[in-house]
Amino acid sequence: MTPSVTHVSGTVTGDVEVRFTESGVAVCRFRLTDTPAQWDAAAQKWRDGTPIRYICTAWRTLARNAAESLANGINILVKGRITEIRDNTVYLSADDIGISLRQRIVYTETSLPSPAAAAPVTPPTTPPAASPSPSHPATRRPGNPPAWWEERRSSGWSGNGPAPTAADGTPLHTGR
77-129: per-residue pLDDT in tens?
999 999 999 999 999 999 999 999 888 887 777 777 666 665 666 666 776 66
- Cα–Cα distance, 72 to 70 (Å, whole number): 7
Give domain 5-39+46-106's CATH number out of 2.40.340.10, 3.50.50.60, 2.40.50.140, 3.40.50.720.
2.40.50.140
Range from 3-7, 62-66, 73-77, 156-160 carrying the lowest mean pLDDT: 156-160
DSSP character at residue 21:
-
Contact 56/80 with Cβ under 8 angstroms? yes
Domain boundaries defined on the chain: 5-39+46-106
Give, in order, the Cα–Cα distances in Å from 130 to each of 126, 145, 146. Answer: 12, 20, 18
Number of Cα atoms under 13 Å in the Cβ half of residue 9: 9
- Cα–Cα distance, 6 to 1 (Å, whole number): 15
Q: What is the pLDDT of residue 133?
A: 55
- Cα–Cα distance, 34 to 29 (Å, whole number): 16
DSSP character at residue 151:
H
- Cα–Cα distance, 80 to 5 (Å, whole number): 5
pLDDT level of residue 12 (50, 70, 90 thresholds) = very high
18-71: per-residue pLDDT in tens?
999 999 999 999 999 999 999 999 999 999 999 999 999 999 999 999 999 999
Mean pLDDT for the stretch of residues 158-167: 54
Q: Taking 80 as the threshold, does the pLDDT of residue 2 lie above it?
A: no
Q: What is the pLDDT of residue 162?
A: 55
The DSSP secondary structure of 84-132, one letter per residue, reads EEETTEEEEEEEEEEE-SSS-----GGGPPPGGGGSPP-PPPPPPP-PP
Angle at 46 between CA 45 and CA 51, to 5 degrees: 155
- Cα–Cα distance, 33 to 63 (Å, whole number): 19
